[in-house]
Amino acid sequence: MVVGSAVGAVSAVIVSIFPWMNIIIRFLFMNIAASALMLCITFGKMRPVQLLQQMIALYLITYFAGGLINSVYYYTDFREKLIHIGTSLILSNLSWETVIAILLLLIPTSFILLRLIRRNLSERKEIYEVELFCDNRNIKTVGLLDTGNCLYDPIFKKPVMVIDETLLGELLSSEACNDMEAVRKGLRGISESSDNLAVSMENARRLRFIPYQSIGKESGIMPGLILDKVLIHTGKETICNEKVTAAICDNHLSANDDYHVILHKELI
């Protein structure tokens, strides 16, 4: 967030020191390129639709916040107070050596504080109560919001959550469980014959194949199914997502059974 803000500030400075810049070039540089770069640095990689939504939100916030600041600055005595502070003896008589010393002290201190804050936030797990609905069945479980989950349906480009295989017995009928197990064996290459891969039309309608690649491991494919609905209880609100793709993980997601679902950030 700090780096994204700095990029916006530097862009504004560049526009200010080159007043002869063509208005079209200035618009493309400041309002398109710089804004998109700020958002990508702050929020990470986004799809074009998401980037457009974030840019609209950025301009709405900037419009209202900028209007409020201008109103306070020009229609109150706040401007005179700022000028008085800037021309006070304490600030106006500072030497360059003092300014550089202050900067050299503030910059590493700021980075240390930011690292401490990030470490504190990374240790706090965002765990929510989750309800999964599939074919007139529903179960309650616990989900972890993992910002590192970047799985998407390769065809429909929708975000994919990951669920523990232990949930299948409660979530699916016995026939659907057998079909899913046959598909999973086929993907692992341990199916005895191709006949075992046959699934019913109803279960095939929900079936998806999700490619993945993890750090330090080879890429692969996880079987997935379309859930009718997923409810995420955050404590302040209940978020409802319909037709959510859930990839089935062969391994336990949590060694201590703290959670059985890994949520995608776009579901929140």
| pLDDT, mean of residues 6-14 | 90
Last residue of a domain, one of 97, 123, 149: 123
Mean pLDDT across the chain? 84
d(CA 258, CA 11): 45
Domain boundary among 77, 103, 123: 123
For residue 217, what pLDDT is reported? 61
Residue 139 has pLDDT above 90, yes or no: yes
132 with 261, same domain: the answer is yes
Q: Are 118 and 133 in the same domain?
A: no
Span 33-52, average pLDDT: 89
Q: Are residues 83 and 159 in the same domain?
A: no
Q: Do 133 and 116 sit in the same domain of this protein?
A: no
pLDDT in the model for residue 130:
95
pLDDT in tens, 222-262: 888 999 999 999 888 899 999 999 999 887 888 788 889 99
pLDDT of the residue at 97: 84
Instruction: Return the higher-pLDDT residue of 84 and 172.
Output: 172
Q: Work out the average pLDDT over 65-75.
A: 87
Residues 118 and 132 in one domain: no
Confidence of residue 131 (pLDDT cuts 50, 70, 90): very high
What average pLDDT score do residues 29-44 get? 89
Per-residue model confidence (pLDDT) at position 216: 59
Domain that holds residue 116: 2-123
Stretch among 66-75, 163-172, 186-195, 198-207 having the lowest mean pLDDT: 186-195
Q: Are residues 46 and 172 in the same domain?
A: no
What pLDDT shows up at residue 122?
A: 63
pTM of the entire predicted model: 0.54
Q: Which of 55-59, 117-121, 191-195 shows the highest mean pLDDT?
A: 55-59
Number of domains in the chain: 2
Q: Across residues 196-224, what is the average pLDDT?
A: 77
Residues 193-204 as b/e (b if ≥16 CB within 10 A, e otherwise) read eeeeeebeeebe
Whether residues 167 and 230 fall in one domain = yes
Do residues 259 and 136 share a domain?
Answer: yes
**How does DSSP assign the chain, residue by residue?**
-HHHHHHHHHHHHHHHH-TTS-HHHHIIIIIIIIHHHHHHHHH----HHHHHHHHHHHHHHHHHHHHHHHHHHHHSTHHHHHHHHHTSHHHHT--HHHHHHHHHHHHHHHHHHHHHHHHHHHHS--EEEEEEEETTEEEEEEEEE-TT---B-TTT--BEEEEEGGGHHHHS-HHHHHHHHHHHHHHHT--S-GGGG---HHHHHHEEEEEE--TTS--EEEEEEEEEEEEEE-SS-EEEEEEEEEEEESS-S-TT-S-SEEE-GGG-
Mean pLDDT of the region 48-69: 90
